[in-house]
């Protein structure tokens, strides 16, 4: 079996590759109309990641989970919400492009990598992954709920 320390370079490469994928997805997302499934499916699909907590190695105290979720939902959500605007164009709703959004995604990725290294000094790599998963879920869930509300308001006009 491969030791966990042998996988540590992957722990740095994987977030960068994931960040690049999110950037590419984000650019593509602004080229087609927004719909309810396009808003709702990402957090629903991401929620399957909570199955990691079936394995004891990924479990963290509830207070850590709550803190990570609240940090994502209250702090990291804000830059995403401020730089992603929906606008109505005729009969469809489109995501307005923002250069700042891409810069913020890169900055959030850098913060995540830096914090992961720091937090990883105190907890296991699996627990670190669990903390950052919950943090990202809190950020994305709140962002998508706000986006859905804005989408419904635009459709109701």
pLDDT per position as a tens digit, 98-138: 778 778 778 878 887 888 778 888 888 899 889 989 999 99
Is 88 a domain residue?
A: yes
Digit-coded pLDDT (tens) for 46-66: 999 999 999 999 999 999 999
Please list, in sequence order, all residues whose beta carbon lies within 8 angstroms of the beta carbon of residue 143, skipping any fewer than 6 positions away.
Answer: 77, 80, 81, 84
Is 25 domain-assigned? Answer: no
Distance (Å, whole) CA 40 – CA 86? 15
C-beta atoms surrounding 116 within 10 Å: 17
Asked if residue 150 belongs to a domain, the reply is yes
In a domain, residue 81? The reply is: yes
CA angle 121, 122, 125 (to 5 degrees): 70
Quick check: is 75 in a domain? yes
Query: For residue 32, is it within any domain?
Result: no
Determine the Cα–Cα distance for residues 70 and 146; give it in Å rounded to an integer: 16
Residues 6+ apart with CB under 8 A from 4: 125
Whether 15 maps to a domain, the answer reads no
CB contact at 8 A, 26 and 102: yes
The answer to whether position 135 is within a domain reads: yes
pLDDT at 86: 92
H-state helical runs in the chain: 8-29, 36-46, 62-71, 77-83, 99-119, 125-156
What's the domain count of the chain? Answer: 1
Write out the residue range of the structural domain in which residue 118 sits: 60-157
pLDDT above 90 coverage of the chain, percent = 48
């Amino acid at each position: 079996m491969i030791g966990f320390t042998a996988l540590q370079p992957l722990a740095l490469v994987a977030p960068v590759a994931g960040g690049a994928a999110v950037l590419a997805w984000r650019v593509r997302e602004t080229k087609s109309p927004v719909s309810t499934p396009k808003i709702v499916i990402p957090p629903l699909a991401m929620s399957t990641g909570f199955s990691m907590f079936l394995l004891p190695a990924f479990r963290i105290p509830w207070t850590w989970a709550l803190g990570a979720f609240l940090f994502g939902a209250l702090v990291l959500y804000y830059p995403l919400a401020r730089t992603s605007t929906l606008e109505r164009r005729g009969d469809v709703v489109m995501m307005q492009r923002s250069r700042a959004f891409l810069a913020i995604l890169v900055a959030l990725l850098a913060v995540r990598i830096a914090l992961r290294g720091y937090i990883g000094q105190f907890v296991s790599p699996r627990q670190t992954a669990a903390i950052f998963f919950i943090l990202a879920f809190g950020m994305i869930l709140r962002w998508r709920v706000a986006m859905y509300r804005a989408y419904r308001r635009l459709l109701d006009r």
